[in-house]
Amino acid sequence: MSLFKDAGHLFRFAFLFVVAFFVFLVVRHFVVPKTFGEYGHYRAAAIGEIAAHPIHFAGHETCETCHADILDVKKAGKHAGVNCEACHGPLANHANDPSIAPPKLDTAVLCIRCHAVSAAKPKGFPQIDPAQHSGGVPCETCHQPHSPAIQTGGAK
């Protein structure tokens, strides 16, 4: 009895802890999103929200249904493995409605995005120093974007 009385202040302190813990639980209940943890350590509803974003990329298969001619050229060249929209940018709206014209590309900017020399790129990858190589002349003056290799001996 006297132990209980003389330890009373300890119970008060412990009570504070319990209260704090309950406040924590209540706050947690309100701030943690309802669908958190449904599938994993994230908000499950985020999947739906992300899926609802408008689609920007159509995918190269879609382009190829209408631009089969380009595909034939590209397939034969060095850019066979490069997707249409890697160069042309996202064009889903154009694929849905071809009357929306895709923006014109500036090859002087576009091509060096991939081909500028950098020590971090694998040695086998074709790289050029644009200033030395063409001195600002647009690349398509000499290279055909869809089949860029210049046949040695062929017309420039």
Partner 1 sequence: MSGVEGYMYPNEITLYWSVLIVLYPYITGLVAGAFILASLVRIFNVKAVAPTYRLALLTALAFLIVAPLPLMFHLGHPERSPEMYFTPHATSAMAMFGYVYMWYLMAVLVFEIWLDYRRDIVHLSQSTTGLKRLLYRVMTLGSDNVSPHALAIDHKVGWIVTLVGIPSAFILHGYVGFIFGSLKSNPWWNSPLMPVVFIFSAMVSGIAAVLLIYMFTAKMRKMPIDMPCVDTTAMYLFYIFILDFSLEMLDLIHRVYEADESFRTLNFMVHTKLYFSQIVLQICIGTLVPLLLLAIVQVTNLPAIIRKRIYVISGCLVQVAVFSMRWNVVIGGQLFSKSFLGYTTYKMALVTKEGLLMAIFLTLLPLAILWVLLKLLPPWPDKELAYIEAAAAPTT
Binding map of partner 1 across residues 118-137, x = CB under 8 A, - = no contact: -xx-----------------
Rule CB under 8 A: choose which of 1, 28, 122, 155 binds partner 1.
Answer: 28
Type of residue found at 65: T
Q: Which residues bind ligand HEC (CB under 6 A)?
A: 58, 60, 62-67, 70-71, 74, 78-79, 81-82, 84-88, 91, 94-95, 98, 102, 104-105, 107-108, 110-115, 124-126, 128, 130, 133-134, 137, 139-143, 145-146, 148-150, 152
Q: How far is the CB of 69 from ligand HEC (least distance, A)?
A: 7
Q: Is 41 in the site for partner 1 (CB under 8 A)?
A: yes
Instruction: Tell me, letter by letter, the H, E, C secondary structure of the chain.
Output: CHHHHHCHHHHHHHHHHHHHHHHHHHHHHHHCCCCECCCCCCECHHHHHHHCCCCCCCCHHHHHHHCHHHHHHHHHCHHHHCCHHHHHCCCHHHHHCCCCCCCCCCHHHHHHHHHECCCCCCCCCCCECHHHHCCCCCHHHCCECCECCCCCCCCC
Q: How far is the CB of 129 from ligand HEC (least distance, A)?
A: 10
Q: Is 36 in the site for partner 1 (CB under 8 A)?
A: yes
Q: Which does 140 bind (CB under 5 to 8 A by kind): partner 1, ligand HEC, none?
A: ligand HEC
Q: How far is the CB of 39 from partner 1 (least distance, A)?
A: 14
Cα 140 to Cα 105: distance, rounded to the nearest angstrom = 10
Task: Give Rg (Cα) of the chain.
Answer: 31
> What residues make contact with partner 1 under the rule CB under 8 A?
2-3, 5-10, 12-13, 16-17, 20, 24, 27-28, 31-32, 36-37, 41, 119-120
